[in-house]
Chains A and B, each alone.
Chain A
Amino acid sequence: MRFWSLLPTGVPDWKLRRSKRRSKFLRMFVIARFRVPVLTCFLLACSFAGAQNGSPAPRPSDEFSFMQMLADKGLHDIENESWNAYGQFTYISSWKPSFDAPYTNLNGSINSLLPTGERSFTGTATLYLGARLWKGAEGYLVPELISEQPLSQLRGLGSAIQNFELQKGGAPTPQIYHSRIFVKQTFGLGGKSLVEESGPLQLGTHYDSRRLVFVAGNFSILDFFDTNAFDVDPRDGFLGLGFMTYGAYDFASDARGYSYGGVAQLFWDDWAVRVGRITAPKDPNQLPVDFRLFKYYGDQIEVEHKQKIRGQEGMVRVLAYRNRENMGRFNDAIAAFEANPNENATTCTGFNYGSQNAGAPDLCWARKPNVKKGIGAFAEQYLGHDIGVFGRAMYSDGQTEVYAYTSDDRSATVGVLAKGSAWSRPKDVAGIGVNAGWISNIHAKYLGMGGVDGFVGDGAIAAAAERSFDLFYSAHFRAVYWLTGDYQHITNPGFNAARGPVNVFTVRIHGQF
């Protein structure tokens, strides 16, 4: 599983209008102001669940960047780029005070969020390199460095994990890896000519509004599917993992959140359809990748439409996924344990999470090629200048273990994002949102018997929805920096009403160039 650093790139077509939208943003704010819409929309938004996830941030021309600097000196054609280079660094420090818990890691289960006070941090630095290879082809390389220390070894939470940059298996010692190496080939099919701004993972260029795009290589599937709401870079937006994409979208990926594979996208004016097949890890939530793409894989399809409501831009998307992976079904693990109690969590012979609960079933006894599937919807709508509401929700079958993302079997998120134009700080970002995750009945039964999955398992459970409330303000200063304060309130951590609630306070410093 992964939790990482998502960066930008996103649906090309969406980005095409970004600059227009931004300037429109500013104008509209003067008219619409902030007022009531925020609350009203938040309430309205609740009617359609959804999630936002930070969106790839292009670099507007009024923001400092290395490429813009070269362009200003006449050394670079930023509107028709043959290459570009961008970078970012982000440090996130979270503090979780102690909280009430009648039990922790009961009977040797190991996946409780520790009730003691804890500090967590992540530090990342990323370089985004892009080059035009031949006509219509772009190549991207993204090396990244991460240093991290999660809360409770990243155990005890579903999609309420407080920091989306955390990776399973990360360490305080900095690690360098390549997060993306891919080639994108675009075939124009006509329509209007749209401007694509220069940014991370995007060369400045012009595209047809009708086009076919193929991507192959190493990437995050979230670079193309379910991209961030309102194009807000996740490193400027919500901190919580549940706000990055659907909590129940267990997209195939390695422990850092990246995959190998291919994506095909058809853009037809306001419509887009995309399909993708990507690699799964060899073992759940681990780094080694299984390249047998015809045996184990994650498939997804997404349909997207952009619309205007009372002159305000918006978008809806529907996404479905189907994974075939070597994973365990909760039913099978319980049945194996009930048939033979010696097949418990302490006697695993295959891959397992190290639970010491001898009276609990374990997924290690049930792993075989299985299928997991889910369907979700996303919507975002601008309400006025520089303010918008988003929501997303997903339903997964809930029969099999988490293989890559979070333990949620169902998820819903709503939120409001606003830029600071109203108070003369147009590059500031503020947001408020709620994320909720549920587990299936059989998943709850498995956890109640003391079982653990990749992230949760207290040894017992009073099953309930895990909810997180996230409030942040990101202040822009000195041209390239953003300083963020964030508060999260998490109830029923690990889907267990017997524990919590938990408060998390976070500070983030982010710079980009």
Chain B
Amino acid sequence: MASFESHRSGVYALLAGFVLFAFWSLHADAQQQASGFAVERLYQSAPGAGWFVMDDLDISGRLGGAVSLTSGYARNPLVVTGPDGKKLAVVSEEAFVDFGAAITHDRFRAYINFPVPLLLGGTSGTLGGYRFTAPLVSFGINPDTVSDPRIGFDVRLLGEPGGLLRLGAGAQLIFPSGNRADYVTDDKYRTMFRFLAAGDSGKFTYAGQLGVHVRTLNDAPVPGSPNGSEFLYGISGGRRFAASSGWAVVAGPEIFGETAFRAFFSGETGTEALLTGRFERTGVGRNLRIKLGIGHALAQDFGAAQWRIVFGVEMFGHK
């Protein structure tokens, strides 16, 4: 019977092979490809809703409607941090334009939005065992992409326009569209349900929201990636400065964000503050609103931009 000694070299070779295989496997794991997702976290309110993210719930009258154009630029909306603290700006810049339209009647509003990505770029690299490939989107390469259009429905449940307190609710269905590798879509349907509050007191106005973003994409443990459904939160407040001919300026901050239920305020959480100003004429008939917002991340994670600038124009009114 052959002794161990006689097979020792063979056993060592086998062990060496096993170890190499294990290392290769680990290495292969380390090179797993991150797939991309819908990185945009500025979940806009409905066209004609006043704020960028919050909703003023000023829905009334007979048949009315709104059309909107919103465009924005975000810096470093996706910076991934590895276990060693190393950072990688997978998406370092992002620009979009969004076209929206809403129809209102009495206390109800139905709307659609069509976001068009204009620019996405960043840095590719390996971090935390995952390979991240930066998006490469420009208007010339993707001249007609619509990324994750949505339809939504809002209702004012309590309170009247101009009153101290209005309560409402809204739902959105987001259709997957675009290429996941471009960080413009999850490639899965998403829905949002929100409870809305808003009110006016003299020269002051405010709005807030709590909601659920039903997101089936769970890319855990890929750093900086969605972990499934999220809790949405936000609040805004501003002061109204009356101008001539029915025009007014409303200025104030909006703070909004989201956190994954699976890591409730302990991990994947992004929060942004947006200082907004809007020049508007409101009332019965045809109205116009021009909005500008400049923001900074309070918790830069999960798609919250390091800083962003947003511009919007809304035409709205009702009979």
Contacts and interface: CB of A to CB of B under 8 A. Distances in A.
Partners in one complex: yes
Interface of A: 70, 75-76, 82-83, 85, 127, 129, 131, 133, 139, 141, 143, 175-179, 181, 218, 254, 256, 258, 260, 282, 287-291
B114 A178 contact: yes
Interface residues of B, number: 22
- Residue among B99, B114, B116, B139 with max Cβ neighbours from chain A (10 Å): B114
Contact of B145 (A76, A85, A177): A177
27 contacts: A75-B62, A76-B63, A83-B67, A129-B101, A131-B101, A143-B149, A176-B146, A176-B149, A176-B175, A177-B146, A178-B99, A178-B114, A178-B144, A178-B146, A179-B144, A181-B99, A218-B144, A254-B144, A256-B144, A258-B143, A258-B144, A287-B143, A288-B140, A288-B141, A289-B139, A289-B143, A291-B140
A409 to B, nearest CB: 27
A45 B158 CA distance: 67
B177 interface: yes
Contacts of B27: none
- Residue among B62, B67, B149, B177 with max Cβ neighbours from chain A (10 Å): B67
| Interface of B: prevailing SS | loop
B123 to A, nearest CB: 23
Given A178-B116, A288-B143, A141 B315 contact: no
Contact of A254 (B67, B143, B146, B177): B143
Contact of B114 (A143, A175, A289): A143
B287 to A, nearest CB: 12
B67 to A, nearest CB: 5
Interface in B2-51: none
Interface string B47-75: 00000000000000011010100000000
Given A131-B315, A143-B149, A288-B143, A176 B67 contact: no
Given A133-B315, A256-B144, A139 B67 contact: yes
Contacts of B149: 143, 176
Contacts of B315: 131, 133
Contacts of A178: 99, 114, 116, 144, 146
A157 B145 CA distance: 28
Given A83-B101, A85-B101, A177-B146, 20 more contacts: A82-B286, A83-B67, A129-B67, A131-B67, A131-B315, A139-B67, A141-B114, A176-B175, A177-B145, A179-B144, A181-B99, A218-B143, A254-B143, A287-B142, A288-B140, A288-B141, A288-B142, A288-B143, A289-B140, A289-B143
Nearest to A282: B140
A176 B63 contact: no
B140 to A, nearest CB: 6
Contacts of B140: 282, 288-291
